[in-house]
């Protein structure tokens, strides 16, 4: 299949999700709601009514609850959260596939406003729970039947030093809709609307499609694509920079009011990751920046270049430019998961058969890929922008890893379905690694094998080293915004270039055009501090996969136990299920040793494929 034929893949064209499950009776009926906005209002009406009744019954009385009373209260809060989450998930997912549609944008905004009102009504509960003395709280946490919420309640109490008074919390909650959430939406709409004029037969394409050109073996194609992407980022750059500035300032205010000592502290608390552990991870990765530099130097020699430019980093190292039709990708990933575990394979099959995936690139669709966990009463949803590259097959495997994790974790209930972000990448990277192995087995030539190994090492570089470099960018912009005030577009560009150049060293040239490429990264905007969790999760997943390589099939039941545990325990307890010691000071370095092993394999593959090639 050629690239032009891939763009007209009829199987992919039909891969659109059915969101009706979110609006029907707990997702368990096939009946489609005739009027989605009315069904959303019905969910929110019920959630609002129950929230108001809960507040009327429990405000000022949390300290008087006994064990059974706390269990009953948490069950009711779970039901309220389920109704609101189903409505919010529908609105967000509907918006994500067409951010240019005013009706979808208006629905998203209306739902967010109503959900915020519900959250504001219930804010008293976590404040009163946090105010209990330790002995009373511990007695209540021992209540029979509280397993579905026990860890969640413990985690809430760890946030006590950062909670404000109820009036203050209510104000912050209500103002977030027209504050932080509004700036995030503006940024999403701006980036989703970016179109890149490639000035060739392809014409004007999405940012996602243009970026895929950076994988071309032809340097002229890569250079031109990078130039046109940079040009496409310019028109809305000041607006995106202003939105980012406002979000940086908003977070600085929140952190000051809540007495967080530094910009990353709130994320670490949410991730249940001690500051020292996070610092150790970041410094361990920064201390091994020579690994990506080593690869980039080898790649330059392979491509016949003196030094890579930033737009060469993802270049194909062979002429092997296999494209993968959607049906082939679907079957390969499903078979791989099934061979590892029939239980996981059956879940993956349901994603395809029951329309839980949205796959094609479309105008107005936001970029990237993600898995939305939704709620335990429904099922997860996968969002892709599939462009028929082999990397897209790995992305499908990655997101389905999230999907099976969410599906198995759903048994823990709505409070414990999801893990902290630090463990959120475990199943996704594990699944991606399984599928990578299958692709490698299929590689018929040394060139094809090299192409895959290059993709693997570059995936690790992207997930571990580049994410830490992006963490450094976030550190710089949050710190300088607090010290210097509003940052200009040029200042953002300087800080972006500085953080990237630290990783690249002398192995990659940072071009002037690349200085604006921070401006389409959604994580900086929607989830500040998120990116280090990718490195955490990648190194953890590699360690888990190493256990699987050692133990074989005997490991599978423990791995499934890990997924079923969801977020019902802390990261260290979850790691212990599969024999991983996250408290070990040498853990990160051993994970980085595994990345170095990948690099050794890629270097050997360069030799097997004929060593260095002429420049292109």
Interatomic CA distance for residues 10 and 440, integer angstroms: 27
Paired tokens of 294: 């080593």
Q: What percent of the chain has pLDDT over 90?
A: 72
Contacts for 151-159 with beta carbons within 8 Å, 24 or more apart? 151/415, 151/416, 151/567, 151/568, 151/569, 151/570, 152/415, 152/416, 152/567, 153/74, 153/129, 155/272, 156/126, 156/129, 156/130, 157/129, 157/130, 158/269, 158/272, 159/130, 159/269
Q: How many Å apart are CA 510 and CA 514, to the nearest integer?
A: 7
Domains and CATH numbers, the chain: 35-178 (1.20.140.70)
Phi, psi dihedral angles at 33 (to 5 degrees): -65, 135
How far is residue 396 from each of residues 275, 437, 519, measured CA to CA in Å? 33, 15, 25
pLDDT at 72: 97
**pLDDT tens-digit readout, 311-347:** 999 998 887 778 899 999 999 999 999 999 999 999 9
Does position 3 have pLDDT exceeding 50, yes or no? no
291 and 595 Cβ atoms separated by less than 8 Å:
yes
> Which pLDDT score is estimated for 6?
45
pLDDT confidence bin for 267, thresholds 50/70/90: very high
pLDDT at 208: 84
- In the chain the first and final C-alpha atoms are separated, in Å, by 24
Full DSSP string of 179-242: THHHHHHHHHHHHHT-EEE-SSTT-EEEHHHHHHGGG-S-HHHHHHHHHHHHHHHSTTHHHHHH
256 contacts: CB under 8 Å, gap ≥ 6: none
Banded pLDDT at 230 (limits 50, 70, 90): very high
pLDDT in tens, 192-228: 899 999 876 667 888 988 998 998 889 999 999 999 9
Phi–psi pair at 322, nearest 5 degrees: -65, 130
- Using one digit for the tens of pLDDT, what is the confidence trace for 72-96? 999 999 999 999 999 999 999 999 9
Which tokens go with 109? 């905004």
- Tell me: pLDDT of 435 over 90: yes
Q: Which of 166-180, 349-363, 585-599 has the highest mean pLDDT?
A: 349-363
* Amino acid 613: pLDDT: 52
pLDDT band at 265 (very low <50, low <70, confident <90, very high): very high
Structure confidence by residue, pLDDT tens digits, 456-498: 898 889 999 999 999 999 999 999 999 999 999 999 999 999 9
What pLDDT band is residue 284 in, cutting at 50, 70 and 90? very high
- pTM score of the predicted model: 0.83
What mean pLDDT comes out for the span 234-260?
96
Q: Please give the Cα distance from 26 to 588 (Å, whole number).
A: 42
Torsion of CA 367, 368, 369, 372, to 10 degrees: -60
pLDDT band at 5; cut points 50, 70, 90 = very low
| Mean pLDDT to the nearest integer, 517-544 | 91
- DSSP string computed for 550-604: HHGGGGHHHHHHHHHTTTSS-HHHHHHHTT--TT-TTHHHHHHHHHHHHHHHHHH
Q: How many residues in the chain?
A: 616
User: And the tokens for 153?
Assistant: 């309640």
Residue 140 tokens read as 């209540």
Tokens of 319: 């002429």
The per-residue pLDDT for 306 is: 96
State the Cα–Cα distance between residues 578 and 547, nearest whole angstrom. Answer: 8
Distance, in Å, from the CA atom of 128 to the CA atom of 62, rounded to the nearest integer, reads 6
| Phi and psi, residue 195, nearest 5° | -120, 140
């Amino acid at each position: 299949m050629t690239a032009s034929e891939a763009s007209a893949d009829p199987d992919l064209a039909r891969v659109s999700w059915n969101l009706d499950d979110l609006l029907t009776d707990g997702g368990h009926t096939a009946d489609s709601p005739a009027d989605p906005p009315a069904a959303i209002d019905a969910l929110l009406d019920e959630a609002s009514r129950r929230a108001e009744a809960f507040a009327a019954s429990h405000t000022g009385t949390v300290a008087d609850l006994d064990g059974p009373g706390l269990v009953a209260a948490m069950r009711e809060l779970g039901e309220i959260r389920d109704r609101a989450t189903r409505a919010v998930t529908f609105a967000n997912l509907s918006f994500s596939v067409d951010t240019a549609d005013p009706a979808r944008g208006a629905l998203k905004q209306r739902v967010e406003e109503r959900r915020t009102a519900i959250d504001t009504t219930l804010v008293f509960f976590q404040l009163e729970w946090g105010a209990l003395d330790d002995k009373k709280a511990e007695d209540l946490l021992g209540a029979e039947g509280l397993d579905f919420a026990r860890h969640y309640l413990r985690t809430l109490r760890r946030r006590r030093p950062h909670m404000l008074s109820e009036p203050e919390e209510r104000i912050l909650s209500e103002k977030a809709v027209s504050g932080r959430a509004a700036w995030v939406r503006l940024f999403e709409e701006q980036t989703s609307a970016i179109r890149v004029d490639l000035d060739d037969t392809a014409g004007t394409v999405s940012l996602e499609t243009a970026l895929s050109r950076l994988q071309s073996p032809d340097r002229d194609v890569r250079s031109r694509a990078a130039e046109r992407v940079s040009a496409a980022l310019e028109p809305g750059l000041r607006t995106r920079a202003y939105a980012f500035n406002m979000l940086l300032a908003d977070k600085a205010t929140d952190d000051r009011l809540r007495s967080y000592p530094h910009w990353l502290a709130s994320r670490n608390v949410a991730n249940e990751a001690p500051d020292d552990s996070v610092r150790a991870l970041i410094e361990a990765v920064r201390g091994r920046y020579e690994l990506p530099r080593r690869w980039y130097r080898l790649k330059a020699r392979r491509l016949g270049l003196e030094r890579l430019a930033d737009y060469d980093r993802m270049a194909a190292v062979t002429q092997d430019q296999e494209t993968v039709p959607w049906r082939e990708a679907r079957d390969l990933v499903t078979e791989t998961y099934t061979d590892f575990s029939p239980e996981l394979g059956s879940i993956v099959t349901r994603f395809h058969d029951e329309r839980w995936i949205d796959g094609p690139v479309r105008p107005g669709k936001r970029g990237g890929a993600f898995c939305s966990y939704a709620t335990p009463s429904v099922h997860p949803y996968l969002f892709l922008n599939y462009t028929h590259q082999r990397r897209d097959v790995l992305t499908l495997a990655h997101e389905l890893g999230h999907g099976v994790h969410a599906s198995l974790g759903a048994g823990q209930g709505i409070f414990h379905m999801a893990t902290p972000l630090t463990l959120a990448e475990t199943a996704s990277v594990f699944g991606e690694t399984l599928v990578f192995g299958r692709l490698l087995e299929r590689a018929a030539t040394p060139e094809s094998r090299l192409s895959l190994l290059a993709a693997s090492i570059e995936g690790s570089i992207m997930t571990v080293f580049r994410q830490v470099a992006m963490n450094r960018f976030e550190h710089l912009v949050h710190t300088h915004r607090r010290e210097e005030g509003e940052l200009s577009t040029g200042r953002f560009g300087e800080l972006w270039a500085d953080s990237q150049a630290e990783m690249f060293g002398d192995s990659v040239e940072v071009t002037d055009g690349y200085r604006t490429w921070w401006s389409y990264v959604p994580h900086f905007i929607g989830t500040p501090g998120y990116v280090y969790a990718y490195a955490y999760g990648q190194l953890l997943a590699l360690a888990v996969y190493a256990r699987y390589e050692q133990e074989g099939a005997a490991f599978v039941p423990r791995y499934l136990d890990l997924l079923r545990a969801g977020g019902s325990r802390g990261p260290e307890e979850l790691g212990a299920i599969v024999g991983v010691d996250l408290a070990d000071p040498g853990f990160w370095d051993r994970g980085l040793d595994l990345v170095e092993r990948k690099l050794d394999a890629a270097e050997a593959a360069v030799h097997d494929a004929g060593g260095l090639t002429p420049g292109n």
